[in-house]
Amino acid sequence: MNTKTFIKIIIGMVIAVAILTGIALINNEILNSITFYGVLIAVAPMFLSAYYFNRYSTGRYWYIFKGWSYSNLIYYIPFFNKYEFTFYFSIFSQNFISDTDLDGKPNDEKVQLRNQINKLCGASFGGIHDNSIRLGFNWEKNDPNSVQVFNYTYNNGKRVLDAKTGREPYMGDIKMDLVYQCIVRLDRANNKAIVIVAENVSGKVILESSVDVDASLFKKNGRMSMPYVENNPKKMKFDVQYLRNK
């Protein structure tokens, strides 16, 4: 973020606080309420993060600390009346879970960390476990140079699984350290949840997966989803950029 952009954001936040304070002055009960200012302080970073990411999406690194699951501490990236999203992303090879990273862990936990499907990016059309479409990935093949990717979709509170494998639909493998496009789309006309991985420059589709859903249950407003790795054993870093004007 350059200095000019930072100043614009700060000015915007100051104006917002001034307006809220003005409203509070009109009503002494609000002014005297610790809750009012507590909530204001709590939500300000959330809206600042959302404003910056949507207005100035010039790339963003997302970190998941050792033992954590969520990337970064505060983020909320809302969308309104939107059903298709395009991201640039790269999964760095430094994130590969090696045997050394798993030293001392019980065997069942090692298997879990290798096989679990993590989430990279996507969109939640309401609750994340109600109706959402995301790109999933894992290191099940124990390959330090590539990851497996999946169509990770929830519909009506249930994961959409492949009838043959009993897990999320497997799309294929992609190389780490390369930049790709990910397109997440809800096809309302045909009741499909679609996840696409394409080449970064040409936009040529490499992998594509489509699953049947009841599109009427997906809300038109929601939030985007960023990297999530359940109980990761090391600090991880991802590059995910939402393309606002796509």
pLDDT (tens, 9 = 90+) of the chain, 246 residues, equals: 445 555 666 676 677 666 666 666 555 555 555 555 565 565 565 555 555 444 444 457 888 989 889 886 555 678 889 999 999 999 999 999 988 888 888 989 988 998 999 999 999 998 899 999 999 999 998 899 999 999 999 999 999 999 999 999 999 999 999 999 999 999 999 999 999 999 998 999 999 999 999 999 999 999 989 999 998 899 999 999 887 655
User: Model-level pTM?
Assistant: 0.77
Q: Which segments of the chain does DSSP mark as H helices, in order?
A: 3-26, 28-31, 34-55, 107-115
The domains of the chain are located at 3-51, 60-242
Cα atoms in the 13 Å half-sphere on the side-chain side of 236: 28
Which option is the CATH number for 60-242: 2.30.110, 1.10.3470, 2.60.120, 2.40.230?
2.60.120
CA–CA separation, 97 vs 101, rounded Å?
Answer: 6
What's the CA dihedral at 141, 205, 170, 115 to 10 degrees? 40
C-alpha distances (whole Å) from 68 to each of 47, 73, 77, 187, 236 are 23, 10, 20, 33, 10
Q: Residue 109's Cα: distance from chain center in Å?
A: 24
